[in-house]
Amino acid sequence: MTEAYSLQDYCSDLRSIAAETSDEDEILRRVGPLAQRFVADRSWLEPKHYETDAEQGFGVHLLHEEPDHSLAVLVLSWLPGRGTPPHDHGTWAVVAGVEGAERNVRYNRIDDGSRADYAELEIKHEFNAHEGELVCMKTGGIHQVTNETDAITLSVHTYGKHVNHTNRSQFDLETNQRKSFIVRVE
């Protein structure tokens, strides 16, 4: 049996890592196993974390955020058949699956970035992230998430900064339009 690993423990470890390094490769390498340990504990999980926003397609539940909006930990609850458009986070991200499988599509940006509200993307990699598995992304990484199951899925998202306080973007694959991406948080 593993020792309990609470939200308080996780956040304390996140603060230590952030104080010790700003290298994103190092952060992702160190935060990933801690995120897996945190989601395995499940003592933090409450019925409200399954609540979703039908208009948005998913619910966003804040577990922790530093006063300067750094080191945000959120639970996302994904409606069946719903998800996000392709998007970035404006910061590093570590996502750990809690329940169910979520389809992830990673993208490469193939234009030169010279047009402010324009981006051309191509698929880089597709995979399903299951319970306990990680999706780690450095700043600038672009992905899309879809719940292709017939039940609500859950994942814990840890960010270097709360995504509503970064220059986060969503992308339209048909029009190549890039625009701001803000989510409703409960």
So what's the pLDDT on residue 2?
A: 61
Query: Does 81 score more than 60 pLDDT?
Result: yes
Q: Side by side, which strands form the sheet with 134-137?
A: 58-64, 70-78, 153-161, 93-99, 134-137
Over residues 50-75, the pLDDT tens digits come to 999 999 999 999 999 999 999 999 99
So what's the pLDDT on residue 20?
A: 98
Q: From CA 153, how far away is CA 80, in angstroms rounded?
A: 8
C-alpha distances in Å from residue 152, one per residue of 10, 16, 72, 77, 145: 25, 33, 22, 6, 13
So what's the pLDDT on residue 186?
A: 86
3-state helix, strand, coil in the chain (%, to 5): 20, 35, 40
Average pLDDT (88-100) is 97
Q: What's the pLDDT band for 30 if we cut at 50, 70, 90? A: very high
Q: Delimit the domains of the chain by residue range.
A: 7-180
Average pLDDT (12-29) is 98
Q: What is the DSSP letter of 23?
A: -
Fold of 7-180: Jelly Rolls (2.60.120)
Handedness of CA 48, 180, 70, 23 (dihedral sign): positive
% of the chain surpassing 90 pLDDT:
97
